[in-house]
């Protein structure tokens, strides 16, 4: 009995996006096998899947590790985020009177009530905005870009408070509701630009090394879910 490769990939992905696994950390197949009770084939399939997403670096004869993004990737990533978000905002104007819009508005309002920075919530706003336009290709691509941004944050950090940037979310919605689409696009671009300028640290944060990969994965595994049959 064990998890399927897509479920193992999800467990590792969650550990990466929650920064329990950091860029550069080794992902040893044997530890994945032992901690999650899966075959070596399933472990390898999950790592290959994550390497295709850009979250894992796979090297023949060296194994896998959490991807360590180059600083040069930052600008290219945010250029892509800005271009796709401008297109999303153009389309989002058609959904102002929907329940999905009301849900997005509640999310933006709730962000302003948070007492501390909450990067997951901040990313959720952009993902909800992308999902609202009901184009699975856009949603999937935007989700992939945001996961890559999480890696960048783990490596280079952000100097500017996420709470300050969250105020932009509600303002973007205000502008869309008012039909001021170009202003909304420009604010979204400035918003992403502020995040980009926050990536200032040049040194990689090192993992404490106090916890094994197996311990991290076991803690990331949903305890309420029975392990389904393996797809080895």
Identify whether the C-beta of residue 13 lies closer than 8 Å to the C-beta of residue 147.
yes
* Crossing angle of the two packed helices 136-156 and 119-132, in degrees rounded to 10: 160
Q: How far apart are CA 182 and CA 171, in angstroms?
A: 13
Looking at the domain that runs over 5-68+205-220, which CATH code has it been given?
1.10.10.10
Burial of residue 48, with CB atoms counted within 10 A of its CB: 0-12 exposed, 13-18 middle, 19 or more buried: middle
List where CATH 1.10.10.10 sits in the chain.
5-68+205-220
Identify whether the C-beta of residue 93 lies closer than 8 Å to the C-beta of residue 176.
yes
Q: Is the pLDDT of residue 201 over 80?
A: no
Residues in the chain: 232
**Predicted confidence (pLDDT) per residue in 14-65, tens digit:** 888 887 888 889 999 999 999 999 999 999 999 999 998 888 998 878 889 9
- Helix/strand/coil for 83: helix
Identify whether the C-beta of residue 74 lies closer than 8 Å to the C-beta of residue 191.
no
CB atoms within 10 A of CB 105: 16
Nearest 5°: the CA angle 188, 189, 192 is 85
pTM greater than 0.85 (yes/no)? no
List where CATH 1.20.120.530 sits in the chain.
72-197
* Crossing angle of the two packed helices 40-53 and 5-17, in degrees rounded to 10: 50
CATH number 1.20.120.530 given to 72-197 = yes
Identify whether the C-beta of residue 33 lies closer than 8 Å to the C-beta of residue 218.
no
What does each C-alpha distance from 143 to 28, 161, 177 come to in angstroms? 26, 22, 24
More confident residue, 112 or 37: 37
Q: How far apart are CA 134 and CA 132, in angstroms?
A: 5
CB atoms within 10 A of CB 1: 9
pLDDT of residue 92: 95
Q: Across-strand partners of 65?
A: 26, 57
Q: How far apart are CA 63 and CA 182, in angstroms?
A: 47
Report which secondary-structure segment, H or E, holds 16.
helix 5-17
**Predicted confidence (pLDDT) per residue in 118-147, tens digit:** 545 567 899 999 999 999 999 999 888 888
More confident residue, 116 or 37: 37
Closest CA to 138 of 148, 147, 129, 150: 129
């Amino acid at each position: 009995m064990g998890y399927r490769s897509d479920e193992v990939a999800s467990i590792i992905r969650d550990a990466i996006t929650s920064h329990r696994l950091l860029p550069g950390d080794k992902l040893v197949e044997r530890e994945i096998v032992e901690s999650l009770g899966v075959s070596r084939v399933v472990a390898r399939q999950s790592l290959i899947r994550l390497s295709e997403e850009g979250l894992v670096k796979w090297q023949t004869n060296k194994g896998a590790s959490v991807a360590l993004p180059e600083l040069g990737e930052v600008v290219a990533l945010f250029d892509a985020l800005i271009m796709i978000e401008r297109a999303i905002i153009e389309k989002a104007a058609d959904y102002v009177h929907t329940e999905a819009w009301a849900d997005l508005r509640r999310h933006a309002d709730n962000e302003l009530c948070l007492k501390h920075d909450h990067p997951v919530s901040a990313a959720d706003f952009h993902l909800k905005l992308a999902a609202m336009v009901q184009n699975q290709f856009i949603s999937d691509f935007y989700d992939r870009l945001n996961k890559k941004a999480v890696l960048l944050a783990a490596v280079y950090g952000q100097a500017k408070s996420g709470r300050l940037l969250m105020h932009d979310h509600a303002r973007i919605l205000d502008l869309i509701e008012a039909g001021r689409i170009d202003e909304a696009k420009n604010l979204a671009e400035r918003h992403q630009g502020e995040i980009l300028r926050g990536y200032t640290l040049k040194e990689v944060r090192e993992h404490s090394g106090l916890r094994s990969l197996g311990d991290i994965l076991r803690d990331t595994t949903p305890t309420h879910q029975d392990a389904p049959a393996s797809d080895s």
